[in-house]
Amino acid sequence: MSEQELLTRLAVALAIGLLVGLERGWHTRDEDEQKRAAGLRTFALSGLLGGVSAAVGAATNPLVIGFAFLGFVAAFTAFHLLEARLEHNVGATSVVAGMLTFMLGAYAGIGELRVAVACGVAMTVLLALREQLHGWVERLRWEEIRAVLTLLAMTFLLLPVLPNRTIDPWSVLNPAEIWIMAIVIAAISFGGYIAVRVLGERLGILAASIAGGLASSTATTLTLARLARAEPAAWRLLAGGILAAGVVMVARVVVVAAALNRDLVEPLLIPLATAAGTLAAGSAFLFLIGAKDTRTDLAISNPLEIGTALKLAAFIALVLVGTGIARETAGDAGVVLLAALSGIADVDAVTISMARLSGGELSIGTASEAIAIALTVNTLAKAVMATSAGGLRLGMTVTAISVAAVTAGALAWD
C-alpha cells in the first residue's frame, strides 16, 4: 500500500468518526462536557484508531486489530458505565455506535472505501432518526409486526427450499421467482398500509386514497363508493379520491414493470403517463370544487397477512400458466385476451407475468400491449363498481373521467 493510499484510507476513517461524532455530540450538546463519556472528538478518534489499527495489523499481524478492538471496547464501555451511574440512564446505543465506528475505521483501512462510507452514513442516519423511529414503532400494532415477522420467516425459511427452476410443461412456472414477486408486491402494498398507520387514524380523503391505491385501488374504489352513499354531500371529494387511487395504481404498474424488465418502460411510459395525467387532472378538479374538506377513516386491511400473500402468489402462478397455455394454443391474441380477463380482478399479476415472460417467450410489444389492456379493463371495471356501489352521480363522474383517461392513453399509444 502506497503512502498516499494509506493517508486516504486514514482520512476516510477519521471522516466516518467525525460524521458519527457530530450526530452524537449534537444529541448530547446540552449535557455537561465533563459528564459526557463520548462526543465529537471521541468518536472521531475512534474511527481514526480503527484505521490505524488496521494499518498496523496489515503491516505486522492481523491479530493487532482484534486486540486493539477488545481494548477499545473495554475502555469505551467502562466510561459509559460511569456515565450511566451518574445520570441513572442506561443505554447501549452509544457503546454500539462506538464499536461500529472503530470497526468501520478499520474496514476503511483495509477494505472497500465506498462500503465503509455507506455504512457510516447509514449508521448516522439511524442515530439521528431516534425519535422518529421510536414514534413509528409506538404507532404499530402487534398484529402488524407479527404479520411482517411471519412473512419474513416464511420467506427466509421457504424460499431456500423452493425449486428455482420451471416445473411445468410450458416452462413458465418457477416457484422461487413467483414467491419473490409476491413479496415485492406485498412490500409495496405494505408501504401504503404503514402510511395510514403512521399518519394517523383519521386521514384526509386524498392521503387515504393515495395510501389505498398502494394497497389495492379496487378495494379503495369500493370503500369510497360506499362512503358516498353514506355521505352524499362529499361525493365530489370521494370521486376525486377514487381517481387518485387509480393514478397511484398506474404509477405502481410502471414501477413494478421497470423493476422486473426495464425494456417494458419505453413502450408503456408515455401512454400510461398520459392516462395517469388525465386521471390526476380530474381528481384535482373534483377536490377543488368539493363542498367541504371531509375527513373520514379508510379501513385498509393489513396487506401483509399471510393469506393475502399466498392468494397473490397463487394468482400469479395461475396467470403464468394461463399465459403459457394461451400462447401455445392461440398465440399472442390468446395472451392479450387472458390479460384482459385477468385485469378485471387484478393488474399486478398481469404486470408481473408479462414482465417475467417478455423478452423471452413473449415479445416486448405483446407484453406491453397486454399490460395496457389489463389496465384499461381494470380502470373501466372500477368505474362500473363505483356506479354500482356509490350511485349514479358519483359513478357517471368517475366513468366519464376514466373513459377520457383511457382514450388519452390510447391516442398516445405508438
Instruction: Report pLDDT for 363.
Output: 83
Instruction: Report pLDDT for 361.
Output: 66
User: Given pLDDT bands bounded at 50, 70 and 90, which one contains residue 131?
Assistant: confident
Instruction: Report pLDDT for 235.
Output: 85
Helix or strand run (H / E) with residue 295: strand 295-296
Q: How far is CA 43 from the centre of its chain?
A: 33
pLDDT in tens, 264-304: 888 999 999 999 999 999 999 988 887 554 555 545 555 55
How open is the CA angle 249-253-257, to the nearest 5 degrees?
A: 170
- H helix intervals, 261-363: 265-288, 306-343, 348-357
**Maximal C-alpha separation, the chain:** 82
User: Given pLDDT bands bounded at 50, 70 and 90, which one contains residue 221?
Assistant: confident
Q: Residue 202 pLDDT more than 50?
A: no
Closest CA to 414 of 372, 359, 354, 356: 372
Instruction: Report pLDDT for 201.
Output: 42
Q: Which residues are registered as beta bridge partners of 380?
A: none
Helix or strand run (H / E) with residue 203: strand 203-204
Q: Is 381 exposed, middle or buried (0-12, 13-18, 19+ CB in 10 A)?
A: middle
- Mutual orientation of helices 205-230 and 175-199 as an angle, nearest 10°? 80
Q: Which residues are registered as beta bridge partners of 362?
A: 358
Q: Is 117 exposed, middle or buried (0-12, 13-18, 19+ CB in 10 A)?
A: middle
Question: How is the chain split into domains, by residue range?
Answer: 3-128, 140-412
**CA distance linking residue 352 with residue 177, whole number of Å:** 10
Pairing state of beta strands 203-204 and 295-296?
antiparallel
Q: Which residues are registered as beta bridge partners of 204?
A: 295
For the chain, the average pLDDT equals 79
pLDDT in tens, 293-341: 455 554 555 555 556 566 666 766 776 677 667 766 777 677 788 777 7
Would you call 138 helix, strand, or coil by DSSP?
helix
Annotate 71-130 with DSSP letters as a single string: HHHHHHHHHHHHHHHHHT----HHHHHHHHHHHHHHHHHHS-HHHHHHHHHHHHHHHHTH
Closest CA to 220 of 257, 195, 184: 195
- Please give the DSSP secondary-structure letter assigned to residue 33: G
| Cα dihedral 354, 359, 360, 361 sign | positive
Helices (H), strands (E): how many in the chain? 15, 2
Instruction: Report pLDDT for 37.
Output: 47
